[in-house]
Structure 1
Amino acid sequence: MSSLALITGASSGIGRAFAERLAMDGYGVITVARRRDRLEALAASLPVGAVQVVTADLSTDQGIDAVADVCADQPLTMLVNNAGVSHYMPMAKLPAAKARELVQVKVAAPTMLTRAALPGMLARGAGTVVNVAGMLAFSGPAPMSEAQRRAGRAVYTGTLAHAVATSQALHAELEGTGVTVHAVCPGVVATEFHEVQGIDLSAVPRMSADDVVNATLAGIELGEVVIAPGVESRSLLEAVFSADLATFAGQSPQLASRYQAG
């Protein structure tokens, strides 16, 4: 059976890098994004017949449903849930439409596309789901400077943490089926992701999109569920996950003493 990958947010950045690398590795690639002109330019740059173009807006229910139908109908080997929007803004000032767009693109779309792709993957006994998150998923407890508070990122950070937790739980749920699930958590990447919101990170050291893709594929081979391309010591991640599990196991039906009156 030939390999087939569907990649969302494939018109630029990490998504485009995934499409280029997987096509080079012999995959058939289904690229999904809102900008058809960019998808067609990408398809023209890759081997003839390697790329199918699907134009869809994953911030809408209609766009999600259309791509979910493709996920259900095609024999996908890999699903890369990469599409994203940033919308850094304090929650109290975040317009409802932008809040909804964030949740649609980073939570609803990956959930519904994965749900649609899984039955076929399970029937074939093989498949890989990659959820592109980010290191901000681990930043929830971090104190913020005044500038960071003004910028705001609570909703965006929450969507990334959701991707990590969902990937871990679903990977465990699918153990032994031949289907694996992974979250990739890069730091700042040299793409146009922040530029579209007017954030200039040109002076900040950034990883390339190609490095993120290379790390993801290597991490999958290593069996890592959470792949952190810029974290040298794997023990740091293991410490986080061990603390998570210790906290989960440390719960009791009895009220903790610090919450008891008097």
Structure 2
Amino acid sequence: MSTLALVTGATSGIGRAFAERFAADGHDLIVVGRRQERLDEFAAAHPEVEVRSVAADLSTDEGIDTVARICATEPLDLLVNNAGVAHYMPLADLPADKARELVNVKVLAPTQLMRAAVGGMQRRGRGAIVNVAGMIAFSGPAPSSVMPRRAVYAGSLAHLVAMSQTLSAELEGTGVQVMVVCPGVVATEFHERQGMDLSAVPRMSAEDVVTAGLRGLQLGEVVCAPGVEDAALLDSVFAADLAAFGGQNPALATRYRAG
């Protein structure tokens, strides 16, 4: 029986690499992107599998609703929420339309697509959701000297990490996996479209990110960090999160009481 994968942001970078890998593995595909010509090019290059292309702008309500309807009605085995925009700039400098675009693409769209897909996956007793975030999700405590500042971008990726972890716990025992992939700097068009030249910066390939993500699913990981050799570092972060969460009580902490 053929399996069906839907990939957003499938026309370049990590999304394209996921779609290429799924096609090579024999999965039928629904590829989502803004550029119809690139979607058509991908479909034409992969006659060995069934490829359905959906031109949709996930920064808009119409685009999100279009893809959400597909997620709700198609028997998806895999959903990859990869679409993204960068907009690296301090909050005060970020135009309102760019802030809205970023939150729609990296927060609202994945949330709505997961909500639409997860019910069917639960009923079928199988499926996997992969959210593509980044190590910037962990950069919040960095001092002001660490540039560029990108509060909305970092916040949107941190949302994907926390939501993936919480949804994974919700779905325990259902046969549905949820994982978030957090690469560092990746060699794609992503930064170039923002006018950033990172050619001198060591970068991971999109294909390696996909290899890590699919292996992470096999390992049962919820947070996959392809470039972090010492997985205990992540365990320490999450253990500290849970310790802080569990360390609360109704009494006001001593440091907040008047001296």
TM-score, length basis structure 2? 0.98
> Which of 200, 204, 211 is the matching residue for 2:201?
204
Three-state SS of the structure 1 residue aligned to 2:80 is strand
Q: Can you give the 5+ residue segments of structure 1 that lack an aligned partner in the other structure?
A: none
- Identify the match of residue 251 of structure 1 among 238, 244, 248: 248
1:80 and 2:80 equivalent? yes
The answer to whether residue 61 in structure 2 is matched with residue 61 in structure 1 is yes
Q: After superposition, what is the alpha-carbon deviation per residue over 1:70-104, rounded to whole angstroms, capped at 9, x for unaligned?
A: 11111000000000000011101111000000000
> Per the alignment, in what secondary structure is the counterpart of residue 72 of structure 1?
helix
Find the aligned partners of 2:246 and 2:80 in 1 and give their Cα distance. Answer: 32
SS of residue in 2 equivalent to 1:6:
strand
Distance 1:206 1:45 in 2: 27
Q: Distance in 1 between matches of 2:91 and 2:23?
A: 39
Work out the CA distance in 2 between the residues paired with 1:87 and 1:238. 30
Distance across 2 between alignment mates of 1:49 and 1:83: 22
d(CA) in 2 for partners of 1:119 and 1:212?
28
What SS does structure 2 have at the residue aligned with 1:162? Answer: helix
1:223 to 212, 220, 224: 220
| Cα distance in 1 between the residues matched to 2:112 and 2:186 | 26
**Which residue pairs with 1:20 in the alignment?**
20
Q: What corresponds to 1:30 in structure 2?
A: 30
Q: Distance in 2 between matches of 1:101 and 1:24?
A: 32
**Match for 2:171: what amino acid?**
L
Q: Distance in 2 between matches of 1:18 and 1:138?
A: 24
Show the counterpart of 2:135: 135
TM-score by length of 1: 0.97
SS of the equivalent of 1:183 reads strand
SS at match of 2:242: helix
**Secondary structure, counterpart of 1:129 in structure 2:** strand
Q: Which amino acid aligns with 2:79?
A: L
Higher mean C-alpha displacement, 47-56 vs 70-79: 47-56
SS at 1:79 equivalent:
strand
Moved more, 28-37 or 137-146: 137-146
Give 1:145 deviation, angstroms: 2.3
Contact 2:121–2:127 (CA under 8 A) maintained in structure 1: yes
1:177 is matched with which residue: 158, 171, 174?
174
Q: Structure 2 regions of 5+ residues with no counterpart?
A: none
The answer to whether 1:168 aligns with 2:165 is: yes
Percent identity between the aligned chains?
Answer: 68
Give, as a single letter, the amino acid of the residue that structure 2 aligns with 1:5.
A
* One-letter code aligned to 1:60: T
Deviation, 1:22, is: 0.5
1:233 aligned partner: 230
Q: Does the 8 Å CA contact 1:79/1:128 hold for their aligned counterparts?
A: yes
Q: 2:91 maps to which residue?
A: 91
Q: Is the 8 A contact 2:29 2:49 kept in 1?
A: no
Say whether residues 1:47 and 2:44 are aligned partners.
no
TM-superposed deviation, 1:143: 1.3
Asked whether the 8 Å contact 1:23–1:47 carries over to 2, the reply is no
> Distance between the aligned counterparts of 2:105 and 2:228, measured in 1?
26
Deviations 1:88-122 (A, max 9, x none): 11101111000000000000000000100111101
Question: Does the 8 Å contact 1:107/1:159 carry over to 2?
Answer: yes
**CA distance, structure 2, for counterparts of residue 223 and residue 113 of structure 1:** 22
Are the equivalent residues in 1 in contact too, given 2:186–2:206 (CA < 8 A)?
A: yes
What secondary structure is seen at the aligned counterpart in 1 of 2:209? helix
